[in-house]
Amino acid sequence: MTTQPEASPAKEAFLQRIRQALGRAEPATSPPDHPPLKTNLVRQEEKLRTIRAKVEARRERNAERLAENATKVGWHVHRVETHDEAAAAVAAIAAGLHARNVVRTAEDCFRQADYDGPLRRARAAPIILASGRNRSRDSLKATAFDADLGVTGVSWAIAETASCVIVPRRGVARLASLAPPVYVAIVGIEQILETLDDYFATVRLEHMKGRGHVAAYANFISGPSRTADIEQTLTVGVHGPGVVHMLIVGRE
Amino acid sequence: MAAKAAAFKRSSAVAVRNPKLQQTLHHVVRHFTEARDAAVASEFPPETWEQMRERASSIKLQTLLNLDFYLDMVDRNVRRNGGHVHFAADAAEANRIVLDIAKRNAVKRVIKSKSMVSEEMRLNPTLEAEGIVPVETDLGEYIIQLAKETPFHIIAPAMHKTRQDVSRLFQDWLRSAPTDDIKTLCAIARNALRQQFATADMGVSGANFVVAETGTVVLVTNEGNGRMTTSVPRVHVALAGMERVIPAIEDVALFLRLLPRSATGQRITSYNSFISGPRRASDEDGPEEFHLVLVDNGRLNLLKDERLREALKCIRCGACLNVCPVYQKTGGHAYGWVYPGPIGAIVTPAMNGFARGADLPFASTLCGACKDVCPVKIDIPKLLLDLRPEAARRTGTWAERLLMRRWVDMMRARESLERSSRLARLMQRPLSREGVIRRSRLPLLAAWTQARDFPAVAEKSFARRWRDGLSRAEP
């Protein structure tokens, strides 16, 4: 990764005007006192240990809370014991849609069971959405826009807000969870966090450990794409998927 | 210029007499306020919600007081993420920056997700003038763009359009069949916009928050157009008012709890995107270039004023619009610029040096409902009062100014007050009935007198009665 060239004169002038407006002549010498910026790696790791212990102790409770909150905001929630059952559930969803093309990501959950076999038996073609292997940017786009169903794993799920956290990376295209009209998220019970605070504390630790590097993109999906822009009437599926399924895999 | 500077009185009068608009406003505003109240009250005890507002307010204020520090931090971290940062003093400079990026990338079509800053800049006409086609992709904004209007509400831009209006627009522009079904209308827009998403070269978005610590732009959306705009085109430009910054990634949780509940009554919106630079080399998709444009455009006027600074805490939820008895009757267009409602009545004149919205500080009953719902505790009524002296200087008539000067002189000294009272008693005789001066159109002062009855000056002053009473009480 390249760092862009040093600050511009426009920036200096801009910041100088702000200093003047605030009645200061010089840049602040010490950083402002903001506790979340002050923690060190040791303390943040300690915080994360506490969060992990809490999450582990309350797995089933958090899964129930996630399922309950998700249902409220329009997810179709399915609870299954194993990835084989999850694969069967995905195939059943595809069959119900008469889906021809199913795009999926290449991530850990798909190695836990054969997801593609049941899909093929349901007369759907599973396609891994990735830009390598002779696929240009445009053809990835076209494939995603043409798909009837998108299936992905998640990096985390958040029980408080019924959110699936997608962090795009190698094997995880952004469009898999966005372009198709129907979407399935596969959530392992061990991936469920309790609150937004748990999630952002996790990101902070990764950021600290990665010496300031973060993922280019992260996305919370918390229900179907929705709009109320015409007469305040709720309508789903305006740009993103209008039907969303959450498969929670595992039970404690 | 004067007409433009103080146009609210006239435009609001037009809005109030539009029955269709009144009906829509009534319906929509009630929907939003009920949803908000339910979302807040059902989940948090009042004291918890109050603590959250208090904390958010203090974080925003502390950030503003150290804005130079945090903007430098934003700049360094976005560049570390591989993005570019631009600083624009005004709308013209911001437009020039966006145009430069577009031209360098031979951009022909720009897809936009919602950005109020781009409305301030009037970015769309600027792009059009250079032969670049801007397409709004938020459904409400898309409708507004087809209708060639400006947003009516910060978060519900097309709330004043009925399904019939939308159907007619789609018939004209997209050659679709007429329909009364909202689901069908959404599907028509979805299909039309899919083509745009697939072929646009550049995406322009706003920014709900910019996290200094990680150089991350946070977008809060429901439709998915924000994700499309920031994921599909080769270039992504995010426009952010310079006050959008919050310090730490762990602060985001608090603001994500406050914003959607205050705005639409949702616990969270369908999508939240966290954008930290362009796609990494190993990513499957995403934009290859990322630009963040930080815009001043008059915000400095607020920052340098110790009292008005507070208005820059605003997170643009729109809750103050929905509860405002003035907005409830006038709607958004009457305010004449990008930001309507109570917060608009502050930032419009302040950002524009009173060249716009000079009479807006008076567009308030000072009832305080806005202050009660504000998730970052902006004392809106107080700021409106703070702005009124300047607003009065800009918009008052010479007769009012004269009257006010006489009033001040009169109230300054005991003798002058008594002298004036005696004079007033004499002069009001032909006008007053039963202790009241009836409303009438007094020449030059009609605005003060045509709609209210004034209490007449009492025949005997209080001081006089006090003295008389004392003398009677004496043995």
pLDDT tens for B416-472 read 888 888 888 888 888 888 888 888 777 777 777 888 888 888 888 888 888 887 665
Asked whether residue A232 is domain-assigned, the answer is yes
Contacts of B35 (CB under 8 A, 6+ apart): B264, B265, B266
B273 at the A interface (CB within 8 A)?
yes
Predicted TM-score of the model (pTM): 0.93
The span from the CA of B219 to the CA of B273, in Å, is: 5
B38 at the A interface (CB within 8 A)?
no
Q: How far is B319 from chain A (nearest CA, A)?
A: 16
Asked whether residue A34 is domain-assigned, the answer is no
Per DSSP, the residues of A85-148 read HHHHHHHHHHHHHT-SEEEE--SGGGGSS--HHHHHHTT-EEEE--S-TT--HHHHHHHHHH-S
Phi–psi pair at A142, nearest 5 degrees: -60, -40
B227 at the A interface (CB within 8 A)?
yes
Q: Where are the domains of chain B?
A: 44-297, 398-473
Number of independent structural domains in chain A:
1
Cβ distance A238 to B270 less than 8 Å, yes or no, reads no
The span from the first CA to the last CA of chain A, in angstroms, equals 42
- Classified as helix, coil or strand, B57 is helix
Spatial CA neighbour of B186 closest among B210, B204, B173, B170: B170
Residue A109's domain is classified under what CATH number?
3.40.50.10420
Cβ distance A196 to B159 less than 8 Å, yes or no, reads no
Residue of B nearest to A128 (CA): B284
Q: What is the DSSP-derived secondary structure letter of residue B175? A: -
The span from the CA of A166 to the CA of A93, in Å, is: 21
Cβ distance A32 to B286 less than 8 Å, yes or no, reads no
Q: Does the CA dihedral B266-B322-B21-B124 come out positive or negative?
A: negative
For B358, the token pair is 């000079």
pLDDT by position in tens, chain B (length 475): 344 566 898 899 999 999 988 988 998 889 899 999 999 988 899 999 999 999 999 999 999 999 999 999 999 999 999 999 999 999 999 999 999 999 999 999 999 998 999 999 999 999 999 999 999 999 999 999 999 988 888 778 898 898 999 999 999 999 999 999 999 999 999 999 998 998 999 999 999 999 999 999 999 999 999 999 999 999 999 999 999 999 999 999 999 999 999 999 999 999 999 999 999 999 999 999 999 999 999 999 999 999 999 999 999 999 999 999 999 999 999 999 999 999 999 999 999 999 999 999 999 999 999 999 999 999 999 999 999 999 988 887 888 888 888 889 988 988 888 888 888 888 888 888 888 888 877 777 777 788 888 888 888 888 888 888 766 544 4
Structural domain including A79 reads 59-249
Cβ contacts of A21 on chain B, cutoff 8 Å: 300, 303-304
The span from the CA of A93 to the CA of A99, in Å, is: 9
Output helix, strand, coil percentages for chain A, rounded to the nearest 5.
Answer: 40, 20, 40
For A196, the token pair is 């937004």
Please tell me the class of the B44-297 domain: alpha beta
A75 at the B interface (CB within 8 A)?
no
Do residues B238 and B32 touch, judged by C-beta distance below 8 A? no
Quote the pLDDT of residue B249: 97
Q: How far is A111 from chain B (nearest CA, A)?
A: 19
Do residues B16 and B22 touch, judged by C-beta distance below 8 A? yes
The span from the CA of A193 to the CA of A160, in Å, is: 8
Do residues A176 and A150 touch, judged by C-beta distance below 8 A? yes
Quote the pLDDT of residue A26: 85
Do residues B302 and B313 touch, judged by C-beta distance below 8 A? no
Q: Does the CA dihedral B153-B26-B35-B227 come out positive or negative?
A: negative
Longest dimension (CA), chain A: 71
Cβ contacts of B250 on chain A, cutoff 8 Å: 36, 197, 200-201, 204
Counting DSSP H helices and E strands in chain B, the numbers are 23, 13
Cβ distance A216 to B300 less than 8 Å, yes or no, reads no
Cβ distance B250 to A230 less than 8 Å, yes or no, reads no
pLDDT by position in tens, chain A (length 252): 444 455 688 999 999 999 999 998 888 777 889 999 988 999 999 999 999 999 999 999 999 999 999 999 999 999 999 999 999 999 999 999 999 999 999 999 999 999 999 999 999 999 999 876 556 778 899 999 999 999 999 999 999 999 999 999 999 999 999 999 999 999 999 999 999 999 999 999 999 998 888 999 999 999 999 998 898 888 999 999 999 999 999 998
A29 at the B interface (CB within 8 A)?
no
Counting DSSP H helices and E strands in chain A, the numbers are 8, 12
Cβ distance B190 to A212 less than 8 Å, yes or no, reads no
Asked whether residue A36 is domain-assigned, the answer is no
The span from the first CA to the last CA of chain B, in angstroms, equals 69
- Classified as helix, coil or strand, B423 is helix
The amino acid that residue A210 corresponds to is G
Do residues B338 and B151 touch, judged by C-beta distance below 8 A? yes
Size of chain A, expressed as the number of residues it contains: 252
The span from the CA of A245 to the CA of B309, in Å, is: 45
Q: How far is A162 from chain B (nearest CA, A)?
A: 9
